Each structure stands twice: as structure tokens, then as C-alpha cells.
Amino acid sequence: MPALTWSHELAGSPGAVPRPHRRQTSSVITMYLVEISYKELRGSLNVVTRFMFNFGNLLVMCVGPFLSYEVLSYSLLPLPVIYFLACWWIPESPYYYLKEGRVNAARIELAKLRNSDVNVITMYLVEISYKELRGSLNVVTRFMFNFGNLLVMCVGPFLSYEVLSYSLLPLPVIYFLACWWIPESPYYYLKEGRVNAARIELAKLRNSDVNALEEELQIMQSGVKNAMRSSSSAKELFTGKQYRKAVIIAAGMKMTQILTGGMAIQQYLIVIVQESKFKMAPATISIVFGAVKFGVSLISSVFVDRIGRRPLIIYTLLSTGISYAVIGGYFFLLDVVQIEHESLSPYGIITFIGILLSTIVSTLGFNSVIGIVPAEIFPLNVKAVAMTSLNILGGLLGFAVGKGYQVMKNLLGLTGVFWIIAFVTFSGAVFTYFFVPETRDKSLHDIQILLQGDLYIDDAKIDKDCLVETELTELNSVKDVKNTS
């Protein structure tokens, strides 16, 4: 069929509004996605654009019959404006720059497209820190998160949303400016093949002598070379035999963290306490809860690197499960046995104390540690894909828990809700006991040997010759530069 141009459209009806060439509207997005994406994701990304196109059609078909053309047009007007503004921030296609002969610009754009990590803070701290301090440094980020929660809970009830939003606005700006001064991860430079740059950054992060520094760098380089010999795709992560243990451990821990219902209980905290017949002002409940969570996060870093990840997760999950079981027992007496409210009202504080105890224990333990372990157990080549996949899983489970809480409450009451959460928590402790290894005081190289076993050790032996060859190549390059100068 010949392409439809303006002349064809106008020839059919003299009064028609001209429409652009149809081929001009179909190709740019597809071409861009094909050029920037991994070969394994090319088809999926383009299918997403079709999904969004069909979703837009569905949306207009659903609401269109109930709105006038004018209202519908104005309601859709912001979308192309937002799309236009967003396009200023997307990277250019490396193929475009290569076509223009701008190789360095293409290299920069490709780096943006291939190194966009999620959960960057945890991954960065895991990569730069001493193995003895890895847990403590990551727990500090949880402390700051809880401090932010406390701040909003304390001042939020007394401020408007507008004032609260403006008062928090400087924080991300300060964070952005501070990030210009932090050292780069040595693992990033090693992944790029820049050994000398990695050596310089590692020297900034360590106060050790030259021999110890070189030894640590060699271990890092061995691990990076071993990891980067494999693909970095999602297919590699989910089909590679060597990653199977890490995937099971990370997915199990993420499911345990989300399905224990901490966020749902925090969201419905005031309603739950009020239903327990315990009398306390809602603002006081929020402030006490936030203050306790913040105070506990101050000392959580003391335990994570002294007790160890594995026992801390197991014992805190068991303690949290006991707290939830006791709360469920109270609501069983209140709602199922239906003991008189006057008799139970003096014990209504059990619910509030139980939630506080579960919050204290979980903040000291699994909520602080579960985010660290996945960043430790995945090798460098699939770490970004793995952390992204975990975030997607966590988001889906969090959405399901948030939406399902009220449904479960309507079906089973608060008794059923808390007993189900207690069962999940106990199950998480059993899972941790049988599957999760201890990673405290182990280097990332040692952790991969622990998880992959002979697969990793054999690869490391193969890489020894490559390490020597790389060092010799770099030394020869330096000599050549000196000779030419």
C-alpha cells in the first residue's frame, strides 16, 4: 500500500485537516530503543511502547464517552509536554555519535546506558568498605532513613503539606552537591579496565601500606575479571547455574522482609492501636513510634558486624514473630472470644507495646541487614540486574501487601492478619537457617567462592595468567610513553 501523504488526504475531502506523513510517526522511538538497548532486551523494550500506546487507547475509550471533547483534550494536553521535557534528560544514541565521528561522546553515552544502577548506595558502600565495617556502614543509611521518618512524624502534624515539602527541598540538593566529592568505587574502574585509576581510588579509601594495598587490589581484580567474563544480562542471571543460590537467597529474604508487613502495620498503626481500645492521641502514637525507631537505629550498627548477619536475622525474625503472635492472641480474645471490652481495656497497651517491640527488634536485625546481603552475594557482572530485579519484586510485593491488608482484615480480622504475618516471620527464620550463609568478615571474593564453589575457583585459576598479562601490558604502555616523551 502506498504511503499516505498530505496530498492524498486533501484529495479525498477538500475540507479535511492536513495530517502528517504516517511513516514519520512510527520509526524514531523504535530505532532509538533498538540502538540503545541490550540485545536480550530489545524486543521487550519495544513491546513496552506498544503496551503504553494500547493503554492510552484504552484510557481514552473508557473515559471519553463521559467527557466533552474540550475537557478530554485539555486533560491530555500535559502528556506531550511532560514527554518533551523528559526527552531532554535521556541519553543520545551512541550510534548517532559514531555516525558523526564523535567516539568519545559515544563512549560517554554508552556508559550512561550500561551503568544505571538501582540501590546504588548499598552497592557502593559494599564495594568501598572494609569487610569488617561493611554492615555497619550500610546500617548508617537505615539510621538516616529512620531519622527522616522521625522528623516528618514529629513536625508533620503541625505543618501544611506545602510548608513540609519546601522545608525538605534543600536535602536532595545538598546530597547532590556532596556526591561530587566522594571517591569512585575501585570495582567500577576495574570493570572498565582502568587498573591505575582503581589503585588511586583504593589508596584514598584505605590507610594501609603499599603491599597490603596491592594485595587487596589483586584480589579485587581477580574477582572482577572472573565476573566480567560472563554476560551482564537478565537471562544470564536467571539461567546461570552459578547464580542460582544467590537468586534463591536474595528472593527469599526480600519476600520475608516485605511479607512480614512492617510497612502496612506502620501505615495502619493508629487504626490498629485504636481498635485495641488503648487510649492514646494519634499524634502521640506517631511521635513515640518514630522516636523509638530512630533511637534503635542509632545502636543497630553495633550489632550487625559483631553478632553477624545470619544469627541477627534468625533471632530477630523469631522475636518479631512472637510479638505478632501475642498481638494476634489479644485480638483473638477481643474479637473472637468477645471478652468484654471493660475487662480487656487495661491490657490494650499490649498491642502498642507489641508493635513497638517488633519494630525495635526488626530495626536492630533483619530490616537493617536484609538489604546488605544481596549486594554482597551477587558478582559484579549481574549485580545491577539482580538489585533492579529485587526492587521490582519488592515493589510488587509491597503493593500486594498494602492493598491486601484491608482485604485480609475484612475476611479474617486483625487476629488472622497478625497470625499470618507471624507465620511468615517464623518461616523466614527457618529459611535463613537453612539457606543464608554468613558473610561477616568475608571479602566479596570469598563470598563468591562460598556460593559458587568449584565453578568460581576454576575460573579464578584461569584468570591468574590474565592478571599477569594485563599488568605487563600496562607497564609496557607506561615505558612506551616515557620513551616517546
Structure-block grid coordinates of residue 185: 568505587
What does the pLDDT read at residue 439? 83
For the ranges 10-14, 302-306, 364-368, 473-477, the lowest mean pLDDT is seen at 10-14
What does the pLDDT read at residue 58? 67
Q: Say which residues have a Cβ less than 8 Å from residue 384's Cβ, sequence separation at least 6.
A: 115, 116, 117, 118, 123, 232
Mean pLDDT for 434-461 is 74
28 or 437, higher pLDDT: 437
What does the pLDDT read at residue 404? 86
What does the pLDDT read at residue 476? 55
Q: Which amino acid is at 349?
A: I
As a whole number of angstroms, the distance between CA 160 and CA 67 comes to 33
Q: Which of 457, 461, 300, 449 is nearest to 377 (CA)?
A: 449
Q: Looking at the predicted structure, is the pLDDT value of residue 421 above 50?
A: yes
Q: Say which residues have a Cβ less than 8 Å from residue 423's Cβ, sequence separation at least 6.
A: 321
* Dihedral angle over CA of 207, 208, 213, 216, nearest 10: -100
In which band, very low, low, confident or very high, does the pLDDT at 8 lie, cut at 50, 70 and 90?
A: very low
What number of other Cβ atoms are within 10 A of residue 434's Cβ?
7
Mean pLDDT for 298-314 is 76
Domain with CATH 1.20.1250.20 in the chain: 6-114, 120-182+232-452
What does the pLDDT read at residue 430? 95
299 or 385, higher pLDDT: 385
105 or 189, higher pLDDT: 189
CATH number at 6-114: 1.20.1250.20
Q: Looking at the predicted structure, is the pLDDT value of residue 118 above 50?
A: no
- pLDDT, one tens digit per residue, over 31-41 is 676 666 665 55
**Superfamily for 120-182+232-452?**
MFS general substrate transporter like domains (1.20.1250.20)
In which band, very low, low, confident or very high, does the pLDDT at 438 lie, cut at 50, 70 and 90?
A: confident
- pLDDT, one tens digit per residue, over 189-229 is 887 788 888 888 888 888 767 778 888 888 787 777 776 67
In which band, very low, low, confident or very high, does the pLDDT at 473 lie, cut at 50, 70 and 90?
A: low
What does the pLDDT read at residue 49? 65
Q: Which of 185, 47, 199 is nearest to 125 (CA)?
A: 185
For the ranges 43-57, 188-202, 291-305, 442-456, the lowest mean pLDDT is seen at 43-57
What does the pLDDT read at residue 427? 95
In which band, very low, low, confident or very high, does the pLDDT at 1 lie, cut at 50, 70 and 90?
A: very low
Q: Which amino acid is at 386?
A: A
3-state secondary structure 323-345: HHHHHHHHHHHHHHCCCCHHHHH
Percent of the chain having pLDDT more than 70?
A: 69
For the ranges 102-116, 237-251, 319-333, 357-371, the lowest mean pLDDT is seen at 102-116
What does the pLDDT read at residue 38? 60
Average pLDDT, the chain: 75
- 71-80, 125-134, 194-203 — most confident range: 194-203
In which band, very low, low, confident or very high, does the pLDDT at 347 lie, cut at 50, 70 and 90?
A: confident
What does the pLDDT read at residue 426? 95
Burial classification of residue 249, based on how many CB atoms lie within 10 Å of its CB (0-12 exposed, 13-18 middle, 19 or more buried): buried
In which band, very low, low, confident or very high, does the pLDDT at 106 lie, cut at 50, 70 and 90?
A: low
Structure-block grid coordinates of residue 212: 597490603
The dihedrals phi and psi of 308, each to the nearest 5 degrees, come to 110, 155
Find the radius of gyration of the CA atoms of the chain.
28
For the ranges 1-10, 240-249, 320-329, 378-387, the lowest mean pLDDT is seen at 1-10
This prediction has a pTM of 0.57
- 130-139, 213-222, 467-476 — most confident range: 213-222
- pLDDT, one tens digit per residue, over 366-395 is 887 777 788 788 887 788 788 888 888 888
Q: Looking at the predicted structure, is the pLDDT value of residue 472 above 80?
A: no
In which band, very low, low, confident or very high, does the pLDDT at 26 lie, cut at 50, 70 and 90?
A: very low
Q: Say which residues have a Cβ less than 8 Å from residue 250's Cβ, sequence separation at least 6.
A: 373, 374, 377, 378, 386, 390
279 or 102, higher pLDDT: 279
What does the pLDDT read at residue 71? 79
- pLDDT, one tens digit per residue, over 260-281 is 888 888 878 888 888 888 888 8
Q: Looking at the predicted structure, is the pLDDT value of residue 102 above 70?
A: no
What does the pLDDT read at residue 317? 94
Q: Which of 122, 417, 399 is nearest to 263 (CA)?
A: 399
